[in-house]
């Protein structure tokens, strides 16, 4: 990813965050019942592997997160939301569970560690390896 791509996506993330905070995207927000069958399905996916990444195939931050785990030779389960009919619904559930709808949503041992930049930062500090090992 070039520096220009990185800057572009950081700007897009920031604008999306501000618009979500101000309610501009409120039409996309839906009340999510975390005991619904789909929410239970999402929680089961999170439990299904030590490392679970909810991703979109075209997203550079998703690619960044997966590249970190590939470099570490760590197996992970990737759920590509853009390839699923229920991807938007799953993303809404992840928003309720984690407080953010953005992808990737990376879970290690059922705990959300954030997105692509967060994973890279944890890796560079040596903290990601510790999270996986413990």
98-112 pLDDT, tens digit per residue, is: 999 999 999 999 999
Using alpha carbons, list the distances in angstroms from residue 57 to 40, 68, 82, 101, 133: 24, 16, 7, 16, 27
Q: Which residues of the chain have pLDDT under 70?
A: 1, 5-6, 9, 12-13, 16-31
* Mean per-residue pLDDT of the chain: 88
Domains of the chain: 3-133 (3.40.30.10)
Helical residues (DSSP H) of the chain, grouped into ranges: 3-22, 37-47, 60-71, 87-98, 116-125, 127-133
pLDDT of residue 10: 75
pLDDT of residue 24: 45
């Amino acid at each position: 990813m070039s520096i220009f791509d990185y800057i572009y996506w950081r700007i897009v993330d920031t604008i999306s965050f501000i618009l979500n905070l101000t309610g501009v995207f409120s039409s996309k927000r839906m009340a999510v019942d975390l005991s619904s069958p789909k929410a239970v399905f999402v929680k089961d996916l999170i439990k299904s592997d030590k490392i679970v990444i909810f991703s979109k195939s075209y997203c550079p931050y998703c690619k960044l997160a997966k590249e970190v785990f590939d470099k570490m030779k760590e197996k992970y389960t990737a759920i590509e939301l853009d390839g699923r009919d229920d991807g938007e619904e799953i993303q809404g559930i992840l928003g309720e569970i984690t407080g953010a709808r953005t992808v990737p949503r990376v879970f290690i041992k059922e705990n959300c560690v954030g997105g692509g930049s967060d994973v890279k930062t944890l890796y560079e500090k040596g903290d990601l390896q510790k999270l996986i090992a413990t």
